[in-house]
Structure 1
Amino acid sequence: MDSLNTAFLIVVMAIVSYTIFLIRKRSQLLREFERLNPE
């Protein structure tokens, strides 16, 4: 049970960090796009 909880925590942490990474990358791409198209 304890090892299962630890594995679950690791998976959740990985998903959260990956999601944050994707959001940052996406916002960075959007900023680049806006700089290219100021309209």
Structure 2
Amino acid sequence: MISKILMLSGRRLNAILLLVTIIILGMAGLGMLDSPHI
């Protein structure tokens, strides 16, 4: 379902979503480094 929505919305939205995902993953990684005791 999600892939269909992305295809309909176009590559621009797909690129933005990919960028946001990378930023979120990066922030999550930094948070894990800051607090190793999870």
29, 32, 35: which one aligns with 1:31:
29
- Structure of greater relative contact order (alpha carbons < 8 Å, 6+ residues apart): 2
Higher helix share: 1
Q: CA RMSD in A?
A: 1.6
* Per-residue deviation, 1:33: 0.2
Cα drift, residue 38 of structure 1: 0.2
Please give the TM-score of this superposition, normalised by the length of structure 1. Answer: 0.70
Shift of 1:22: 0.3
Q: How many residues align?
A: 30
Tell me the distance in 2 between the aligned counterparts of 1:33 and 1:12. 32
The alignment-based identity, stated in percent, is: 3
Structure 2 stretches of 5 or more lacking a match? 1-6
CA distance in 2, matches of 1:29, 1:14: 23
- Shift of residue 19 of structure 1? 0.2
